[in-house]
């Protein structure tokens, strides 16, 4: 029942990134370009909670006639990511058979990924490397667009480098792209953005895969990793000023009924020494001890 | 009102967001007064109205949604076409007036635009406004794209006058925030009708309301007949013996998944074009209803005695999408599962939205956290303080609920911690003043922290009665929070600079020690609106950073781990592109490692 001819006529591009990176600007350039070529375009995004720093996406669909403004999962013809982990988040939207994956390898590590304050932990960031992704997708480009833009003199032109890559996956003429981009960037940066766009198109010709880990894991002494934190409280010196209780990032301290500080949750202590440093009465000391079996 | 004709703009096609198209529809429909309280996803409607000529259309940010509806109704009484706009939960606030206005009807056209948020992208619930339409017995129009958004809004004014009823235009997040091509039309020249002195119609005394009630019931049938005859109710021929009945955004998903299926596309879920539906149902052996959220059409069909399916395959919760509709059709046996390669598995790095670098709310919640209080939160950007690392809010229910919740906690006698209500400036004016009066009169022992950032920030920076600026950017009277609190009878009021952490700690502590209602006003403008605030960035001196990560407790997006380590822990760094130099991190640094960045 039904035919697919109408749908096959529609191209779907999903543009993703982090709030403030310019996802909407990139999608507006594409939408304007399509419209000027007489195509019907629907561009869909979500406003509101995605303040600065949140995950941002924009669906752009164009063709003779477009129904749904959102791209069905697994049917995006192109996934364009301005940030590495965001590309990974939306990977399941890409058509696994014919889709093109384009991503900057630039990493924006969210503060949320830096919550575990234990010793020697890595931020909770994506582990998937460019090589892993490029093996999974039909066509894939992972590049240091920010680096390319920085070499041209403005790392903010990274989006335009990515537009250059995108332009090779679609059939609009080079000059049409340049004309639209010129209208969407600040006048002073026109030259640099044109150069960035062409640099992106040039890069595709000899596309390579960046090697190596996504984020290096910090090297921490195995001894340090096994250290156990013990807080020693000298009750007679504590006057219950409460400073340590308020400032403990892990909230492991509390005041008892007598108004003296006690350790409420010893396991939560990461050994940051903040209480020790802030105590006006030297009533708290942190001891770092090795368990007997490690010490041997 | 002098309604002028705009210069000719014949057959111009422009890409418009759904919200912009609704605003354009109101303008073309001769609307003379437009009022709203901002709320995602409806906010851009009034922002767009504010760009049309002031001599044609009056535009206002009302103090809350009920006031917005009341102001619009006043204009309708005066014979001028009027619109008010709000998000779905805003209609709860305005519903008191709506329920009675349904009995009164209108003089000039009265249109209520409500934007629902299926999937709760930026809301606390996903209530379906169509149920409200049926509850209030007013027609609801449901456009499926920006073109229809313009046409339906325009039409809504005519329907309102024709059938003597307020009319709801229901949008959804997807429609409101999707840009698609729209054919623009001309503004209709509508002369004001003037006030109609009809005491029995305009004054809802019980006797008058009793007389109006049968008219309200009869209206359902009459408007349903209009939809029977209207081309807006559209039968699209197709193959097969299964017929789909759908409405609004769901229509586009049906056409995406099964372009060739027979469809009856409705313009409205209430009242239904019953004859057209019976006729359609008679042609097919099986009827499936595809509608977003509640089974409003499906239930009405079942009451009509028409066998149909719907929510058995299409979920009642969340936003629909092509793949959800496809899954439903597969379960219903309409299509076979596609034999496609499985899409790649995503790797998810949590990236929740954050308060901005330099956001004045951060310090307010640091201070509240420090006294280990029971904290009732409210609706606004500051709700983000409920998540790590601030984790400083215990409850959050609805606009203005914080102060009432705090009074209840205090009066329960069961809460031993100090009780604090935190509420933003706009939310306080929206619905925080009545509960504060309650707290004062009942002598509740609570602290109210008013987070005055001089703007309605969450929705993108709209003016409110505390900013002293109108929607069109003109200076106007502004309310004074200290004076309001004192007038209510609050004896303990203190205003503090949000960037002075020490003063805030002290004020919050003293306020909670005070027996009775204490109000702390934490005062600093939002860093994003109305002007983006920039300052000289700070930097972390790596040599003296002791990796205590005390500054990370702020949840500032500019602060993250650096590559340096101290004692096995990550030192921190500040992103100079994000930092505006608010200095809160420097105020909590125990080793004075944070200082003004050296300039090249």
How far away is chain A from the Cα of B580, in angstroms, using its nearest Cα?
14
* Interchain CB distance below 8 Å, B349 and A227: no
Min Cα distance B133 → chain A (Å) is: 25
| CA pair distance A81, A107, nearest whole angstrom | 11
What tens digit of pLDDT does each residue of A73-87 get? Answer: 999 999 999 999 999
> A255 and A119 in one domain?
no
Domain membership of residue A216 (yes or no) is no
Angstrom distance (rounded) from CA B529 to CA A21: 18
A215 in any annotated domain: no
Residue B38 has pLDDT above 70, yes or no: yes
**Under CATH, to which class is B234-331 assigned?**
alpha beta
Residues 375-394 of B with CB under 8 A from A: 381, 384, 388-389
**Fold match between domain B13-229 and domain B361-523:** yes
Smallest CA–CA distance, residue A131 to chain B, in Å, is 14
Residue A125: list chain B partners with CB under 8 A: 349
Q: Is the separation of the CB atoms in B130 and B142 below 8 Å?
A: yes
Contact between chains at A114 and B557 (C-beta distance less than 8 A):
no
CATH number at A254 reads 3.30.70.20
Q: Are residues A193 and A236 in the same domain?
A: no
Q: How far is B381 from chain A (nearest CA, A)?
A: 8
A7 pLDDT more than 70? no
Which positions 14-33 of A are in contact with B (Cβ < 8 Å)?
A: 18-19, 31
User: What pLDDT, on the 0 to 100 scale, is given for residue A201?
Assistant: 95
One domain for residues A186 and A266: no
Q: What is the DSSP string of B13-30?
A: EEEEEHHHHHHHHHHHTT
What fold does the segment set B538-596 form as a domain?
Answer: Alpha-Beta Plaits (3.30.70)
- Is residue B537 helix, strand or coil? coil
Q: What is the mean pLDDT of chain B?
A: 94
Chain A residues whose CB is inside 8 A of the B347 CB are: 85, 88-89, 91, 126-128
What pLDDT is attached to residue B600? Answer: 61
Let me know whether A201 and A228 are in one domain.
Answer: no
Interface check B600 vs A, CB under 8 A? no
Burial A235-270 (b: 16+ CB within 10 A, else e): eeebeebbbbbbbbbbebbbbeeeebbbbeeeeebb
A110–B546 CB contact, under 8 Å: no
Last residue of a domain, one of A158, A174, A205: A205
**Which pLDDT score, from 0 to 100, does residue A269 have?**
87
Distance from CA of B573 to the nearest CA of A (A): 11
Q: Residues with Cβ < 8 Å from B598, sequence gap 6 or more?
A: B539
Minimal-distance CA residue of chain B relative to A8: B256
A213 inside domain: no
Domain ranges of chain B: 13-229, 234-331, 361-523, 538-596
- pLDDT at position B4 over 50: no
Report pTM: 0.92
Q: What is the nearest CA distance from B437 to chain A, expressed in angstroms?
A: 31
My answer on whether A120 and A167 are in the same domain is yes
Residues 5-64 of B with CB under 8 A from A: 15, 40-41, 43
Closest to B389 (Cβ–Cβ): which among A1, A115, A227?
A: A115
Q: Are residues A172 and A197 in the same domain?
A: yes
Across the interface, of B256, B389, B568, the residue whose CB is closest to A224 is B568
Considering the domain boundaries, does residue A23 fall inside one?
yes
Structure token pair of residue B141: 């129009």
Is residue A210 a part of any domain in this protein? no
Reply yes or no on whether the pLDDT at B119 is more than 60: yes
Q: Tell if the CB–CB gap between B344 and A249 is shorter than 8 Å.
A: no
Q: Tokens standing for A116?
A: 């575990």
Instruction: Check: CB of residue A31 under 8 Å from CB of residue B219.
Output: no
Given CATH 3.40.50.11890, say whether it is the number of domain B361-523: no
Closest CA to B403 of B382, B384, B426, B427: B427
Domain boundary among the residues A146, A172, A205 is at A205
In B373-433, where do the E strands start and end? Answer: 374-376, 419-424
Q: Which of residues 177-196 of B touch A (CB under 8 A)?
A: 177-181
- Using the predicted structure, report yes or no on whether residue B296 has a pLDDT greater than 50: yes
What SS3 state is found at A238? coil
- Chain A (122-181) residues lying within 8 Å, Cβ to Cβ, of chain B: 123-128, 133, 136-137
Q: Is A290 on the interface with B (CB under 8 A)?
A: no
Q: Please tell me the distance from the alpha carbon of residue A253 to that of residue A150, in angstroms, as a whole number.
A: 47
Do A102 and A53 share a domain, yes or no? yes
Q: Are A247 and A163 part of one and the same domain?
A: no
Of the three residues A149, A179, A205, the one that is the final residue of a domain is A205
Specify whether the CB–CB gap between B572 and B560 falls below 8 A.
yes
The verdict on A149 and A251 lying in the same domain is no
Predicted confidence (pLDDT) per residue in B386-431, tens digit: 988 888 999 999 999 999 999 999 999 999 999 999 999 999 999 9
Alpha-carbon distance of B448 to B436, in angstroms, equals 8
| pLDDT score for A107 | 87
Q: For tokens 């590495």, name the residue.
A: A84
Query: For residues A112 and A95, what is the distance between their CA atoms, to the nearest angstrom?
Result: 30
What average pLDDT does the segment B66-74 reach? 98
The string of pLDDT tens digits covering residues B561-600 is: 988 888 888 899 998 888 999 999 999 998 899 999 876 6
Round the average pLDDT of chain A to a whole number and report it.
86
**Chain A / chain B CB contacts < 8 angstroms:** 249
Residue B465 has pLDDT above 70, yes or no: yes
- Higher per-residue pLDDT: B372 or B198: B198
Same domain, A228 and A104: no
pLDDT per position as a tens digit, B304-352 = 999 999 999 999 999 999 999 999 999 999 999 887 778 778 888 888 8
* Whether A200 and A236 share a structural domain: no
Cross-chain Cβ contact A96/B565 below 8 Å: no
CB contact under 8 A, A272 and B569: yes
B134 touches chain A (CB under 8 A): no
φ, ψ for residue B586, nearest 5 deg = -65, -35
pLDDT digits (tens, 9 = 90+) for B225-266: 999 999 999 999 999 999 999 999 999 999 999 999 999 999
Asked if residue A105 is part of any domain, the answer here is yes
- CATH class of the region B13-229: alpha beta
* Highest mean pLDDT, choosing among A95-104, A279-288, B292-301, B543-552: B292-301
- Return the structure tokens found at B175: 């429609």
Residue from A73, A79, A112, A244 to probe the interface with B (highest B Cβ count within 10 Å): A112
Q: How many domains does chain A have?
A: 2
Report d(CA A130, CA A209) in Å as an integer. Answer: 7
Contact A70/B at CB under 8 A: yes
Verify whether the Cβ–Cβ distance A271 to B344 is below 8 Å. no
| Torsion angle, alpha carbons of B394, B397, B400, B405, to 10 | -60
User: What is the domain extent for residue A80?
Assistant: 5-205
Residue A5: is its pLDDT beyond 60? no
* CATH number of the domain bearing residue A54: 3.40.920.10
- Chain segment B490-510, per-residue pLDDT in tens: 999 999 999 999 999 999 999
- Closest-CA distance, A153 to chain B, in angstroms, reads 16
B322 contacts in chain A (CB < 8 Å): 68, 70-72, 75
Say if residue B371's pLDDT is above 90.
Answer: no
Does residue A214 fall inside a structural domain? no
- Inter-residue contact B544 to B524 (CB < 8 Å): no
**Residue A94 sits in the same domain as residue A231:** no
- Does some domain include residue A180? yes
């Amino acid at each position: 029942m039904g035919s697919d001819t109408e749908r096959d006529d529609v191209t779907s591009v999903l543009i993703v990134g982090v709030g403030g990176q310019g996802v909407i600007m990139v999608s507006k350039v594409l939408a304007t370009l399509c419209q000027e070529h007489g195509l019907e375009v629907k561009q869909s995004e979500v406003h509101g909670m995605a303040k600065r720093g949140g995950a941002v996406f924009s669906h752009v669909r164009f063709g003779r006639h477009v129904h749904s403004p959102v791209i069905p999962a697994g049917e995006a013809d192109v996934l364009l990511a301005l940030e590495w982990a965001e590309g990974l988040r939306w990977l399941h939207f890409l058509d696994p058979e014919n889709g093109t994956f384009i991503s900057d390898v630039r990493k924006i590590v969210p503060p949320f990924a830096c919550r575990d304050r234990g010793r020697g932990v890595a931020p909770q960031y994506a582990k998937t490397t460019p090589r892993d992704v490029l093996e999974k997708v039909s066509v894939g480009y992972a590049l240091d667009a920010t680096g390319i833009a920085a070499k041209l003199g403005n790392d903010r032109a990274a989006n335009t480098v990515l537009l250059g890559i995108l332009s090779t996956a679609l059939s609009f003429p080079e000059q049409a792209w340049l004309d639209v981009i010129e209208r969407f960037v600040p006048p002073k940066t026109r030259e640099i953005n044109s150069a960035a766009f062409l640099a992106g198109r040039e890069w595709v010709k000899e596309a390579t895969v960046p090697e190596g880990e996504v984020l290096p894991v910090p090297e921490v002494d195995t001894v340090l990793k096994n250290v156990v934190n013990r807080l020693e409280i000298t009750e007679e010196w504590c006057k219950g000023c409460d400073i340590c209780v308020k400032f403990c990032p892990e909230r492991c301290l509390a005041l008892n009924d007598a108004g003296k500080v006690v350790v409420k949750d010893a396991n939560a202590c990461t050994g940051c020494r903040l209480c020790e440093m802030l105590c006006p009465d030297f009533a708290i000391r942190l001891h770092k001890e090795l368990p007997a079996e490690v010490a041997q | 009102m002098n309604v002028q004709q705009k210069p000719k703009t014949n057959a111009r096609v422009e890409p418009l967001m759904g919200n912009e198209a609704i605003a354009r529809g109101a303008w073309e429909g001769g609307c003379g007064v437009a009022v709203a309280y901002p709320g995602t996803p409806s906010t851009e409607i009034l922002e767009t109205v504010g760009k049309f000529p002031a001599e044609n259309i009056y535009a206002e940010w009302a103090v809350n949604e009920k006031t917005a509806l009341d102001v619009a109704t006043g204009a309708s009484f005066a014979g001028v076409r009027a619109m008010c706009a709000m998000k779905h939960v805003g209609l709860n606030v305005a519903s008191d007036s709506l329920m009675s206005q349904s009995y009164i009807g209108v003089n000039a056209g009265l249109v209520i635009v409500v934007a629902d948020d299926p999937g709760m992208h930026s809301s606390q619930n996903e209530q379906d406004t169509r149920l409200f339409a049926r509850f209030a017995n007013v027609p609801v129009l449901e456009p499926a794209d920006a073109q229809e958004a313009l046409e339906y809004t325009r039409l809504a004014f005519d329907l309102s006058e024709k059938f003597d009823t307020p009319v709801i235009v229901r949008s959804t997040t997807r429609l409101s925030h999707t840009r698609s091509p729209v054919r623009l039309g001309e503004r209709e020249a509508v002369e004001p009708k003037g006030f109609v002195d009809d005491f029995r119609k305009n004054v809802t005394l019980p006797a008058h309301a009793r007389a109006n009630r049968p008219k309200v019931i009869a209206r359902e049938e009459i408007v349903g007949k209009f939809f029977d005859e209207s081309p807006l109710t559209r039968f699209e021929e197709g193959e097969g013996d299964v017929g789909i009945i759908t409405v609004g955004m769901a229509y586009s998903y049906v056409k995406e998944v099964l372009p060739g299926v027979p469809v009856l596309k409705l313009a409205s879920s209430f009242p239904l074009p019953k004859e057209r539906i019976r006729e359609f149902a008679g042609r097919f052996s099986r009827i499936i209803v595809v509608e977003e959220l509640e089974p409003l059409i499906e239930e009405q069909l079942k009451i009509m005695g028409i066998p149909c399916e719907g929510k058995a395959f299409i979920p009642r919760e969340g936003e629909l999408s092509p793949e959800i509709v496809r899954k439903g059709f597969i379960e219903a046996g309409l299509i076979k599962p596609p034999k496609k390669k499985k899409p790649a598995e995503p790797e998810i790095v949590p990236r929740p939205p954050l308060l901005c670098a330099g956001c004045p709310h951060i310090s307010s919640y640091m201070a509240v956290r420090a006294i280990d209080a029971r904290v009732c939160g409210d609706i606004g950007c500051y709700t983000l303080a409920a998540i790590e690392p601030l984790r400083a809010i215990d409850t959050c229910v609805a606009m203005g609920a914080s102060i009432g919740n705090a009074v209840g906690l205090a009066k329960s006698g069961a809460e031993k911690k100090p009780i604090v209500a935190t509420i933003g400036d706009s939310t306080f004016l929206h619905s925080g003043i009545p509960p504060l009066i309650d707290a004062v009169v009942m002598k509740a022992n609570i602290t109210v922290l008013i987070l005055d950032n001089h703007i309605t920030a969450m929705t993108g920076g709209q003016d409110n009665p505390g900013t002293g600026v109108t929607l069109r950017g003109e200076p106007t009277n502004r309310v004074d929070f200290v004076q309001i609190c004192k007038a209510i009878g609050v004896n303990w009021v203190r205003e503090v600079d949000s960037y002075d952490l020490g003063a805030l700690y002290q004020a919050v502590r003293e306020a909670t020690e005070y027996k009775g209602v204490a109000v702390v006003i934490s005062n600093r403008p939002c860093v994003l609106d109305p002007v983006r605030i920039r300052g000289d960035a700070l930097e972390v001196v790596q040599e003296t950073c002791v990796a205590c990560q005390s500054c990370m407790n702020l949840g500032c997006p500019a602060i993250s781990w650096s590559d340096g380590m101290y004692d096995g822990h990550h030192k921190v760094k500040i992103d100079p592109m994000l930092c505006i130099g608010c200095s809160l991190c420097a105020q909590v640094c125990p080793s004075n490692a944070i200082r003004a960045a050296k300039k090249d």
